[in-house]
Structure 1
Amino acid sequence: MRLLLRVPRALNPRTVTPRSALTPPALASHSRTYASKQPPIDPSAVASAAAALNPRWLSDLKARIGKCITFGLHQEQVTEAGAICAVLGQEWRELVAGAEGYLTDPGRRGLWGHAVVWGDQDSMGHVNNVTYNRYAESARINWASNYAKHLDPTHASHWANLWTPSGQGLILKSITTDFKFPLTYPDRITVLHKLRAQPKPHSSAFTLSCIVLSEKHQRLAARCEEVIVLYDYVKGRKSGMPDFMLSAFETTWDLQEKRREEVLERVRGLTERVRELERGSWDREGAVEDMGSAKG
């Protein structure tokens, strides 16, 4: 898994080439002092920002690491920066989705690493808006099927009947899609669902939230909100939520809340580690960036 972090080519997580070694001899020595021009960042503001979790937190962290590397880090800091980059690069989907309470375990995934094919695009050169809803539909069926296959096999036949018109079934009442940016070929996407609210006994409907993540851009491409109605095809009317479904959804809701808290705490930890890199590089008192030197 790659990490989309743009840093100078010479600055590798394992080795650091001094800037002076990259400077042509004709250039004179230069330095830039940051401490006198930029006030230190308020730690309480950093903590508050982490708690709020800016939707662009992942790209922000990568940009902040890039700034530290560009300024210059000693070997121990380079090792730490590389370790943080490895986590962000390998686990970005689990972190981005988990921070919102989405469950990413293999037995709960909708679409994972699904290929965007050339035919998904329209004449405008990007994935057609309708296709996003198809992605959500496929992921939703897989999400529901996971209960029969992995999560509640005791009631596998009951779950399987929910997407057939033979008894009690699930009907999509409405879907609302919020497009964040246009997907293009080639790319791979991950589409996940979660319960929007805690399930209630005897409810005849529930709402699912859905996210579409782009692997190429490592960011959110779209959000969907889906209202699902429980319908009795035999009686021809809406029906209440059966006990086996309510029990499974209650467990899912608790796991969603637990996952959200765990991942938010982990993101705060990563944010603080990046902050320590900043304190040890460009944001330390009297910090000076080496702009290169020449010896005649």
Structure 2
Amino acid sequence: MRAAHISSRAGSAWKPFASKSYGTRRFRSTAAEAPATASLSPRWLSDVKERIGKCLTFGADEKQTQKAGLVLSEIARDWRELVAGSEGFLTDAKRRGIYRQEVVWGEMDAMGHVNNVMYNRYAESGRVQWTQKLGMHIDPANRDAWRTVMSPSEAGLILKSITTHFKFPMTWPDHIDVFHKLRSEPTSGTSSFVLDVLIMSELHQRPAAKLVEDIVVYDYKKGKKISLPPFMLNVFGDTWKLQEEAKTRNSERVSRLLEDVRKLEHSTWDRSDAVEHMGSAGS
């Protein structure tokens, strides 16, 4: 994809949204349907681990310790789904763009962190893999058509603009994941769409950057913009529904995990008779 415009800026964390219940599943996104993580600190996973550690230092009993272990195990196993999935990104192997790609030492600059340009390159590589996997795994009947969207031959995708919001400076060594999602449900007749991009640091288990890509559908033979071809529209429509399902499902998981941690706090250190367990002086 060719980039017509690139803009980057350092951004703070996403603005908080009001909390809400995620008991009802719906497939149409509205402004009120923010993910459960929208109002949380970007470091919320690390915060949860610290909170559980504090609970354990106050002498949690066997049942409480088992519950803490279950929470920690779920975070360790599914942190990508909890962080990215709760925002609607699809993290399974058939749909993710980049998975556990190593950050190379040479990608750092004189300031000692990954150069800003690299984030756009990560997003570009992830976007190429994302579209190609749609053809390989989701719509194999149109595999050849999906392959050509990345070449100037027929109907292709052009990057009109990209905006990068840097969250924290990554350094080597680390690994990254790159996920793409549709910002809105595609409709017949549209000639462009917007993709949200999430670049995740494995070392810190949180977003290193969030990007917004404006994509135009272009017919290279006719030399003009065209509407989304039917094969793209169908796949994007199904993808949108899966994104909404993922956001609801994983937001519910996050809410439940946070409730479990709060219950642990109430039953361990956050009570009037709590005494911190410092170990035996004679041991």
Same fold (TM over 0.5): yes
Query: 2:57–2:277: 8 Å Cα contact kept in structure 1?
Result: no
Name the structure 2 match of 1:72: 59
> SS in structure 1 opposite 2:233?
helix
Give 1 or 2 for the bigger CA radius of gyration.
1
- Partner secondary structure for residue 249 of structure 1: helix
SS in structure 2 of the partner of residue 114 of structure 1: strand
Structure 2 unaligned segments of length 5 or more: list them: 1-18, 23-34
Partner AA of 2:245 in structure 1: K
Please tell me the residue identity of whatever aligns with 1:250. Answer: G
Partner of 2:229: 242
**Corresponding residue of 2:151:** 164
1:147 matches 2:134: yes
Q: 1:294 to 1:116 in 2, by over 3 A?
A: closer
* Structure-1 separation of matches of 2:97 and 2:216: 20
Large movers: runs of 4+ above 4 Å: 45-53, 290-295
CA–CA distance in structure 2, aligned partners of residues 125 and 292 of structure 1: 41
Instruction: Name the CA distance, whole Å, in 2 between partners of 1:144 and 1:46.
Output: 33
Task: List gaps (5 residues or longer) in structure 1.
Answer: 1-44
Is residue 184 of structure 2 the alignment partner of residue 197 of structure 1?
A: yes
Alignment RMSD (CA, Å):
2.1
User: One-letter code of the match for 2:224?
Assistant: R
Aligned residue number for residue 63 of structure 1: 50
The counterpart of 2:40, out of the listed 36, 50, 54, is 54
Q: Partner letter of residue 59 of structure 1?
A: S
Contact 1:50 1:271 in 2 (8 A): no
1:223 equivalenced with 2:210 (yes/no):
yes
TM-score of the aligned structures, taking structure 2 as reference length: 0.83
Change (3 A) 1:125 1:152: same
Match of residue 213 from structure 1? 200
- Is the 8 Å Cα contact of residues 37 and 87 (structure 2) preserved in structure 1? no
**1:248 offset after TM fit, Å?**
0.6
Q: Following the alignment from structure 2 to structure 1, what is the Cα–Cα distance between the partners of residues 180 and 280?
A: 55
Size of the aligned set, in residue pairs, is: 251
Q: How does 1:1-296 map to 2 (within 5 A)?
A: 53-56=39-42, 57-290=44-277
The one-letter amino acid of 1:212's match is I
Q: What percentage of aligned pairs have identical amino acids?
A: 52
**1:231-277 superposed Cα distances (whole Å, 9 cap, x missing partner):** 11111111111111111101000000001000011111111111111
